[in-house]
Structure 1
Amino acid sequence: MMKIICGVDVSKARLDACIEPGTILASFGNDPDGIAGLAAFCRQHQAGLTVMEATGGYERQAFLLLWEAGMPCAMTNPRSVRRYAEAMGILEKTDRLDAGVIARFAHAKNLQPTPAPTPAQQRLKALVARLRQVTDDITVQKQRRACLADNAEMLASIDEVIALLKRQSRKLEGEIASMIDDDPLWAQLAGAWRSVKGVAGRTVARLMADLPEIGTYSNKAVAKLAGLAPLADDSGKRNGKRSIRGGRASVRSILFLVARTAAKYDKSLAAFRDRLLAAGKHKMTVRIALAHKLLVRLNAKAREARAQYANAT
């Protein structure tokens, strides 16, 4: 028997839903009342799963409130859904049509529920995202300052903004550190990761916020999540060039930076890097390989820390 799935196309104001099989359509507001109506709609038609695309934030409230209402939800990649639609010959694009495509894609892919984050995980992710924004803003202001070396009035204005941003940065760092210290598992993971020279507090926070699965997945799976797994491109006798694609850019970007720093202290990482360079590998290839190797090491440490925590409790 085919599982009943409700596909939901999310926009800022609306949630367009489609139950498959049967193509039963409905539309709701993207607010608490509308989400409650969507949950009732799913229960009425005995949907076992609600699926929506990651749309940059508009889906978060619906995802969390549906889980609170006891409706299992799954998130999926919009690009994958669009390519599925094109492969099925569906070239048109409307909100209701997209909802049906999402539901049929979920059937074809046999999607499973995406666990809802805990309140602590949500807060940590929000704090880390805001810290990243503030850090980027500081960089922008410093760049502007460098272009105004002879304008005292503008320099004073920019210095005031930089001082404010630095205060916010310190406050956010303190809140993040307190959250990690107060959670026994997070504290154990942080201790394990910081045993690797070059891994500092911001790296720990980024991994916990943006890659919470670390330590529970295989090395290959976690590398795919981060977008650091070289993907095969072979056909017949042709062996194509491996490349990376997709994954979580925020995790990948911090690992690029940290791997370069860690190689200054860790002889095995430095030797690995030098061996690749000596073999004539492109610098970007070496950069990816180094970040991948560091991630595998951090994943192993996370796996050990999780096991120790489970045994202790």
Structure 2
Amino acid sequence: MKQVEYNIVCAGLDIGKTWLDAALAEGCVCQRFANTASGIAQLLAWLRSHGVTRIGMEASGNYERDAREALEAAAFEVVVHQPQEVRAFARFKRLRAKSDKIDAALIAKATAQWEGMVARRDKDLIEMAEILTLYEQVSDMLAQARTMAEHHRLQVVCEVQAELVSQLVRHKQGLMATILRRIRQRTDLVARFDLLRSLPGVGLVVAAVLVIRMPELGALKSGQAASLLGVAPFDRDSGAMKGMRFITGGRARPRTFVYLAALAAKRMKGGFKAFAEKLLSAGKPPKVAIVAVMRKLIEAANIVLKRQSLWIQRA
């Protein structure tokens, strides 16, 4: 078989609020740049001068946002690692020292070993994700405000609390209306949205969350959607010992909404309800049954988007 060689020059970027430390995966070439527009422009020129095509960085509380957007706009392949992934790589390499310069070199080496696919991000989805995050935060604040309101008796306090709840409800509704309006402005997104809406238990909010938070749906193989969401059980076997299966990892934000959709789907007449009842009658705990429905639901979402056909509910 003919061997194909890939000559990809990788670099790593350690993100700070003030500084950007860059390092090449090969050699000891490092450079520091200011985390400003002019500093990022200098970073791009430096990367080009060294022939870099792929650059890795850690998710850093959105301090990486400007640099990442500039790199992607300049056609660099950008890999965003989770911090625990980089630290695990450091433990594997038995590296204990830590500094911005060392971290940049470590990220560069981890990026050079990375075997995943680099996908370009959609600017509209990035902006909608930011609105969706605020929607989720307002939802949490609303739930907390309503809980607090149950314990107040003084009239003036009750009036202020009621006004707060009313304001949060308006903000929550307005944010979701904005998200839905932006989805409907794009034919490709509204097509995905309508397909997802055909699934049992998937309402307007859940469909919007999946469109925004899981754009990979429709391009995944069987089982990958469940793993990406974090509802795939992992084996824990060793020798003759067969351990319990547990779910771990995945995307927590969309998983919360798929959980709500699964609760609705398992009560609706059709295959999902029958599936849940079968698991419960076999002695499975209720939580295990719900997670199984979540797994079945997210895999169904991947299927309808891959086939570009509505979900047909069977009795």
**Amino acid paired to 1:126:** E
Displacement after TM superposition at 1:173 (Å): 1.8
CA distance in structure 2 between the partners assigned to 1:15 and 1:236 by the alignment: 47
- 1:14 and 1:30 in contact (8 A); partners too: yes
**Amino acid paired to 2:123:** P
Residue 196 of structure 2 corresponds to which residue in structure 1?
A: 193
Aligned partner (choices 168, 171, 193) of residue 171 of structure 2? 168
Give the 3-state SS of the residue equivalent to 2:79 in structure 1: strand
Aligned partner (choices 267, 290, 302) of residue 293 of structure 2? 290
Residue 138 of structure 2 corresponds to which residue in structure 1?
A: 134
Displacement after TM superposition at 1:71 (Å): 2.4
1:123 aligns with 2:127: yes
Residue 83 of structure 1 corresponds to which residue in structure 2?
A: 88
1:203 aligns with 2:186: no
CA distance in structure 1 between the partners assigned to 2:117 and 2:185 by the alignment: 31
- 1:197 and 1:266 in contact (8 A); partners too: no
- 2:11 and 2:111 in contact (8 A); partners too: no
- 1:233 and 1:239 in contact (8 A); partners too: yes
CA distances 1:129-158 after superposition (whole Å, capped 9, x unpaired): 11111111111111111111x111111111
What's the TM-score, normalizing by structure 1?
0.92
Aligned partner (choices 261, 267, 270) of residue 267 of structure 1? 270
CA distance in structure 2 between the partners assigned to 1:284 and 1:94 by the alignment: 43
CA distances 1:20-46 after superposition (whole Å, capped 9, x unpaired): 201211111222111111111111111
Q: How does 1:135-284 map to 2 (within 5 A)?
A: 135-148=139-152, 150-284=153-287
Residue 313 of structure 2 corresponds to which residue in structure 1?
A: none
Displacement after TM superposition at 1:70 (Å): 3.0
Aligned residues: 305
Bigger fraction of residues in helix: 1
Displacement after TM superposition at 1:301 (Å): 1.1
CA distances 1:106-165 after superposition (whole Å, capped 9, x unpaired): 1222354342x22211222122111111111111111111111x1111111111112211
- 1:39 and 1:71 in contact (8 A); partners too: no
Rate the CA distance shift 1:114–1:75 in 2: closer, same or farther, 3 A. Answer: farther
Displacement after TM superposition at 1:93 (Å): 1.9
Give the 3-state SS of the residue equivalent to 1:219 in structure 2: coil
Give the 3-state SS of the residue equivalent to 2:223 in structure 1: helix
Residue 311 of structure 1 corresponds to which residue in structure 2?
A: none
Displacement after TM superposition at 1:306 (Å): 8.1
CA distances 1:20-77 after superposition (whole Å, capped 9, x unpaired): 2012111112221111111111111111211101223111211111111232211122
Residue 106 of structure 2 corresponds to which residue in structure 1?
A: 101
CA distance in structure 1 between the partners assigned to 2:164 and 2:190 by the alignment: 33
What's the TM-score, normalizing by structure 2?
0.91
Runs of 4+ displaced beyond 4 Å: none
